[in-house]
Chains A and B, each alone.
Chain A
Amino acid sequence: DGGITQSPKYLFRKEGQNVTLSCEQNLNHDAMYWYRQDPGQGLRLIYYSQIVNDFQKGDIAEGYSVSREKKESFPLTVTSAQKNPTAFYLCASSPGTGEFYGYTFGSGTRLTVV
């Protein structure tokens, strides 16, 4: 999967539940990102982390939380405070230093509220 793995591929959430999306990379990248994709709206940044134990809010962080305890892992929790969580979630990584060459994306998790 190109060095960055997201799981699960499909996830169903009931109203009021928290769910956690997994993102793991073996590219030795320092920086990791979470984006949300809705039809017709492109990719919007939820959270990003440039180094272990540090992360920053993106443009649409409300209702989401993250942690970065290990370099390889950047899980995203969709909390019950996120009122419209149905979307396609993409995790990405980049080296974090030196010249920027864009992202390596994971294959995505499609979250549906039932």
Chain B
Amino acid sequence: GENVEQHPSTLSVQEGDSAVIKCTYSDSASNYFPWYKQELGKRPQLIIDIRSNVGEKKDQRIAVTLNKTAKHFSLHITETQPEDSAVYFCAANEGRTDSWGKLQFGAGTQVVVTP
């Protein structure tokens, strides 16, 4: 099955700086890679996703890059703000047809943005 590793586990940045979170995956058949943001005590919310036929995707201050050859993908947050403080999870789907929709999650990155 799929195995997803995420680094770093914690990340402290000054407001206005950039934050980068990196993930690797093992299943070469994976083709969908979402990123979720979870605030304390709340449900994870999808913030951006990328498919394997795309190398980069951007949405305002958030961007995701994917390197299929190396099996890694990254989340980039620019001009960080205090409201970006949260836990961020990367995930990858299992590529087999009989496990459609199964996501394997990374362990999460606690991002703290200090004013």
The answer on a CB contact under 8 Å between A107 and B43 is: yes
The answer on a CB contact under 8 Å between A40 and B107 is: yes
Majority secondary structure of chain A interface residues (helix, strand, loop or mixed): loop
The answer on a CB contact under 8 Å between B46 and A102 is: yes
The answer on a CB contact under 8 Å between B32 and A100 is: yes
One digit per residue, 1 when the CB lies within 8 angstroms of any chain A CB and 0 when it does not, for chain B 98-115 equals: 001111111110000000
B100 contacts across to A, CB distance below 8 A: 31, 50, 96-97, 100
One digit per residue, 1 when the CB lies within 8 angstroms of any chain A CB and 0 when it does not, for chain B 79-115 equals: 0000000000101010000001111111110000000
The answer on a CB contact under 8 Å between B108 and A102 is: no
A84 contacts B by Cβ under 8 Å: no
The answer on a CB contact under 8 Å between A43 and B105 is: yes
A44 CB, nearest partner CB in chain B, Å: 8
The answer on a CB contact under 8 Å between A101 and B43 is: no
Question: Given A31-B101, A100-B101, A105-B43, A42 and B32 touching (CB < 8 A)?
Answer: no
For chain A, the count of residues having a C-beta within 8 Å of the partner chain is 25
Roughly how many angstroms separate A96 CA and B1 CA in the complex, as a whole number? 19
Question: Given A102-B32, A105-B44, A48 and B101 touching (CB < 8 A)?
Answer: yes
A52 contacts B by Cβ under 8 Å: no
A108 CB, nearest partner CB in chain B, Å: 6
The answer on a CB contact under 8 Å between B101 and A107 is: no
A21 CB, nearest partner CB in chain B, Å: 14
A97 contacts across to B, CB distance below 8 A: 100
Question: In chain B, residues 35-55, which have Cβ atoms closer than 8 Å to a Cβ of chain A?
Answer: 42-46, 49
Q: Could you show 25 A-B contacts with beta carbons less than 8 Å apart?
A: A31-B100, A33-B101, A40-B108, A42-B89, A42-B106, A42-B107, A42-B108, A43-B44, A43-B105, A44-B105, A45-B104, A59-B1, A90-B43, A96-B100, A97-B100, A100-B32, A100-B93, A101-B49, A102-B32, A102-B46, A102-B49, A102-B103, A103-B46, A105-B45, A106-B43
